[in-house]
Structure 1
Amino acid sequence: MQSLRRRETLTGQLVKTISERIASGAYPVGERLPSEQVMIDEFGVSRTVVREAVANLRASGRVTTVQGVGAFVVQQERSGAFQIEASGLSVVQEMVSVLELRIALESEAAVLAAQRRTDEQLAAMRKALADMLAAIEKGEDAVQADMEFHRCIAEAAGNPHFLKLFNYVGELLIPRARLQSFRLEGVSMREYLDRIHREHEQICYAIERRDSEAARAALRLHLSGSRDRLQRSISKVSA
């Protein structure tokens, strides 16, 4: 727990520093952020911390990323819109609370996706499933494919607000990306990811059949399981 909290604290500190530089104009709008390696060297943090910080900034609308090029500043300061502060994510219980938000949001998105999805959108979900399986076979964490599958569902809901909110919440709060949940659960990463992939397949199958209630139930079971396992890990640590 201590090492996880330390990493999250480092991520929050880096987000704060970069945000302050954006606000001051040190990193001007339209300019590319320093490369991962430059930030690793300057701030003395790991590549994982740098990537999580950039994902946080992207989710909050301060930067955008171009694959193979880097991250670019797009906004100097945020309005008073809804925002989940990175500093609040250092507590596992907060992650449980936000998972509850995802359960409410994404289970309804799954209902609409089952009703409205196109063949192209279904194909995108299947590609995300295949990409996740390929990443698992390579021994990777499969976070990007995991996020992409959920993003495909939000897009297939046919309501742009679902997608916008997922893009914000999902970037910050895919639990494995922030907390390495499989370690808290005491299982191997492969075991953990195989289970997640099976749950994704069940969701996709329900959406393919246009079975709204089955899609809702499968999505809700998927995220509720993550929430419940995190809650059990909290109880074990507290005991």
Structure 2
Amino acid sequence: MSSIGKRETLTGQLVRAIADRISSGQYARGERLPTEQEMIGEFNVSRTVVREAVANLKAKGLVHTQQGIGAFVLKDVSAEPFRIEEDNLELLEEIVSVMELRISIELEAAALAAIRRDGDDLTRIKNALDMMNEAIERGESSVLADLEFHRAIASTTKNRHFLSMFNYLGEVLIPRTRLQTHKLNDLPQRQYLERVNREHDQIYQAIKAQDVEGARAAMRLHLGSSRDRLRTNALRVEKAS
């Protein structure tokens, strides 16, 4: 089993690995799972870990067991709803993965916002920009204003699914709620936040001008830069470990 992270137990790693195989169809519905001995050999874990993992999968409604025969994928197992495992967000590589998801969603949100915005939408986006600037001036956290800025853009798409996805992800979308990203950028916090809000202003100006490609490009620059800096740091940490 590849290393997932020190904070995740072996049982948790094994549960996730098997659940992923069930979700992808590698373990088909109704199919028997590998035997305990086979899982011990493949994943390099103890019999206790295998049994705990199977019990966990059973509790999740993914498998059932038959005494003396083994564990089977449920025939009517339903697809798990989309969710991000909060515990994994202690890991830098997982934050990078969430950033990649965020980029794919928010580039299109910015483009739709540029097409569909009205006066009220622009006022809400601009108010969030002003809130962030005021928080920076006071030396306070601007996370809530940052969230409101991106939420306002999601709302401006006039597509409830963009807003629902944003509200589900919530603070997961803002990496600095989980680690001090200004330190990854070798910048004082205020200087880092001012740069972030300049990027926000570029997005706002493109949406205001109904510049669809400009809105995409500004959002790509904003989120892509954050992702690249996080990825560089993740590689640095990996080489040091």
Partners of 2:173 and 2:213 in 1: CA distance = 25
**What is the identity, as a one-letter code, of the residue corresponding to 1:125?**
I
Partners of 2:235 and 2:190 in 1: CA distance = 24
Q: Which residue of 1 aligns with 2:160?
A: 160
Query: Bigger CA drift: 226-235 or 130-139?
Result: 226-235
The structure with the larger Rg is 2
**What is the identity, as a one-letter code, of the residue corresponding to 1:96?**
V
Per the alignment, in what secondary structure is the counterpart of residue 186 of structure 1?
Answer: coil
> Does structure 2 conserve the Cα–Cα contact (< 8 Å) formed by 1:207 and 1:215?
yes
Q: Which residue of 2 aligns with 1:200?
A: 200
Cα distance, 1:231 vs structure 2: 1.1
Cα distance, 1:235 vs structure 2: 2.6
Partners of 1:82 and 1:160 in 2: CA distance = 17
Q: Which residue of 1 aligns with 2:81?
A: 81
Q: Can you give the 5+ residue segments of structure 2 that lack an aligned partner in the other structure? A: 9-78
Q: Which residue of 1 aligns with 2:226?
A: 226
Identical columns (%) = 51
Partners of 2:156 and 2:191 in 1: CA distance = 29
* Deviant stretches of 4+, over 3 Å: none
Partners of 2:106 and 2:187 in 1: CA distance = 26
Q: Which residue of 2 aligns with 1:183?
A: 183
Q: Which residue of 1 aligns with 2:112?
A: 112
Q: Can you give the 5+ residue segments of structure 1 that lack an aligned partner in the other structure? A: 10-78
> Does structure 2 conserve the Cα–Cα contact (< 8 Å) formed by 1:114 and 1:209?
yes
Cα distance, 1:95 vs structure 2: 0.5
- Give the alignment's TM-score, normalised by structure 1: 0.66
Cα RMSD (Å) of the superposition? 1.9
> Does structure 1 conserve the Cα–Cα contact (< 8 Å) formed by 2:109 and 2:153?
yes
Cα distance, 1:236 vs structure 2: 2.7
Q: Which residue of 2 aligns with 1:135?
A: 135
Partners of 2:95 and 2:194 in 1: CA distance = 22
Partners of 1:149 and 1:164 in 2: CA distance = 15
> Does structure 1 conserve the Cα–Cα contact (< 8 Å) formed by 2:90 and 2:178?
no
Partners of 1:103 and 1:138 in 2: CA distance = 29
- Give the alignment's TM-score, normalised by structure 2: 0.65
